[in-house]
Amino acid sequence: MSRALVLHLGLIAVLFAAAFLLPAYHHGNLARIMVLAVYAMGYNILFGYAGLLSLGHAMFFAAGMYGMGLTVRYWDWPMILALPFGTLAAAALALLVAVLALRTAGVAFMIVTLMFSQAGFLVILYFNPITRGDEGFVIPQAARRLAGLDLSDPMNRYLAALVLFSVVLLACHRLVLSRLGRVLVAIRENEERARLLGYDVWAHKLGAVVLSGSVAGAAGAAYGALFGSVGASFAEVPFSILPLLYVLAGGAGTVIGPFVGTAFMFYLRDLAGTVTDAHMLVAGAALIALTLFARRGLMGLVRARWAGWLP
C-alpha cells in the first residue's frame, strides 16, 4: 500500500472519528466542507490536471442541484433516483458545454465557460414559476430520505457527506495514477508534445470536462439533499470562483489539496465574518499571500519541500 493511499485513508478515518467528537457547530460545518470539497475536487480534475481554467463551474453544481430538486418537488422521486439523475443532468450539460467550449483555448475558453454559466443562471431566473428563481425552494424533510435514513438528521447528514467525499477522494487518487490521469498531466504540461506522441488531445479534454462537471453535479445534488435548499444563488458567477479559490489555496494538481483549501478558506471566511463584513477581502488577502509565498498552494508546498510522493 502506497504512502499516498495511507494518507487518504487516514484522512477518511480522522473525519469519521470527528463525527463523534466535534461539537454541533463544527459538526455541521465539516459536513458542508466535505461536500464543497467534492465540488473543488471536480474542478481540480479540469484545472489542476488538464490545465483548463473554467469560470463557469457553478452551472454544473446548479444542474446537479436542480436536477435532484425539481424531480423531488414535482415528480416525488425518491432520493435514490433523484441524486443520480442530478449527476446525469450535470454530465449532459458538461458534454454540451465541452463540445462547444473546446473549440476555443486559453482565455477564450475561460470566457466561454463564464458565458455559459451566466446563461444558465438567467435560464433559472426566466423559468421562475418552476425554479422559484432567487427565492429558491426547500426540499421537504419527508423527501430527504435515502435508504431509510433521514438526511436531515445531523449525524446521517455528516456520514452521507463523508461517504460521498471518500468515494470521490479515492476515485481521484485512482485517476491520478491511471493512464488517463497521466495523459491529462502530459496535455497540461505540453499539449503539442502530447499530440505528437499520438494522444487524442481533444477527446481527453472532452473526457476531463465531462468528468469534472459530473463530480461538480454530484456535489450540487448532495448539497441540496443534505442541506434542504435549492436556489439560483448557487448558479451565480461568484459560486464559480469558489472552487478556484479552494484549489489554488490547497494546491492545484494534488488529490488532497481541494479538501485542505476548502477547509482553510471556509474557516478563514467564517472567522473573518465575526470581525468584519468584508470577509471576502480577508480571503483575497490570504490568497495573495499564498500566491507570494506558496505559489503551488498549501499541499503543493508540502509536496515540493517534504513529500514528493504526494499525487
Q: Residue 168's pLDDT band (boundaries 50, 70, 90)?
A: very high
Q: Is 285 within a domain?
A: no
Q: Is 300 within a domain?
A: no
Q: Is 204 within a domain?
A: yes
What is the pLDDT, as a whole number, of residue 308?
85
What is the pLDDT, as a whole number, of residue 94?
98
Q: Is 43 within a domain?
A: yes
**Buried (b) or exposed (e) across 194-219, using 16+ Cβ within 10 A?**
beeeebebeebbbbbbbbbbbbbbbb
Number of domains in the chain: 1
pLDDT value at 290 more than 90: no
Query: In which domain, by residue range, is 66 found?
Result: 3-235
* For range 127-147, the mean pLDDT: 92
Q: Is 121 within a domain?
A: yes
Q: Is 289 within a domain?
A: no
Q: Residue 283's pLDDT band (boundaries 50, 70, 90)?
A: confident
Name the grid cell of 288.
495573495
Q: Residue 152's pLDDT band (boundaries 50, 70, 90)?
A: very high
Q: Residue 208's pLDDT band (boundaries 50, 70, 90)?
A: very high
What is the pLDDT, as a whole number, of residue 265?
93
What is the pLDDT, as a whole number, of residue 287?
80
pLDDT tens, position by position, 72-131: 999 999 999 999 999 999 999 999 999 999 999 889 999 999 999 999 999 999 999 999
Q: Residue 281's pLDDT band (boundaries 50, 70, 90)?
A: confident
| Torsion-angle region of 153 (φ positive above 0: left; ψ -120 to 50: alpha; else: beta) | beta
Q: Residue 309's pLDDT band (boundaries 50, 70, 90)?
A: confident
* For range 179-193, the mean pLDDT: 94
Classify residue 171 by burial, with Cβ atoms within 10 Å: 0-12, 13-18, 19+.
middle
What is the pLDDT, as a whole number, of residue 83?
97
The Cα–Cα gap between 128 and 63 comes to: 15
Q: What would the DSSP string read from start to end of 2-33? A: -HHHHHHHHHHHHHHHHHHHS-HHHHHHHHHH
Q: What would the DSSP string read from start to end of 32-53? A: HHHHHHHHHHHHHIIIIIS---
Q: Is 72 within a domain?
A: yes
Q: Residue 275's pLDDT band (boundaries 50, 70, 90)?
A: confident
What is the pLDDT, as a whole number, of residue 255?
96
Pick from 304, 305, 306: nearest CA to 252:
304
Q: Is 302 within a domain?
A: no
Q: Residue 272's pLDDT band (boundaries 50, 70, 90)?
A: confident
With vertex at residue 201, the alpha carbon angle to CA 199 and CA 204, rounded to the nearest 5 degrees, is 95
What is the pLDDT, as a whole number, of residue 114?
95
pLDDT tens, position by position, 217-265: 999 999 999 999 999 999 999 899 999 999 999 999 999 999 999 999 9
* pTM of the model as a whole: 0.96
Residues 6 or more apart whose Cβ sits within 8 Å of residue 190:
none
Q: Residue 172's pLDDT band (boundaries 50, 70, 90)?
A: very high
What is the pLDDT, as a whole number, of residue 226?
97
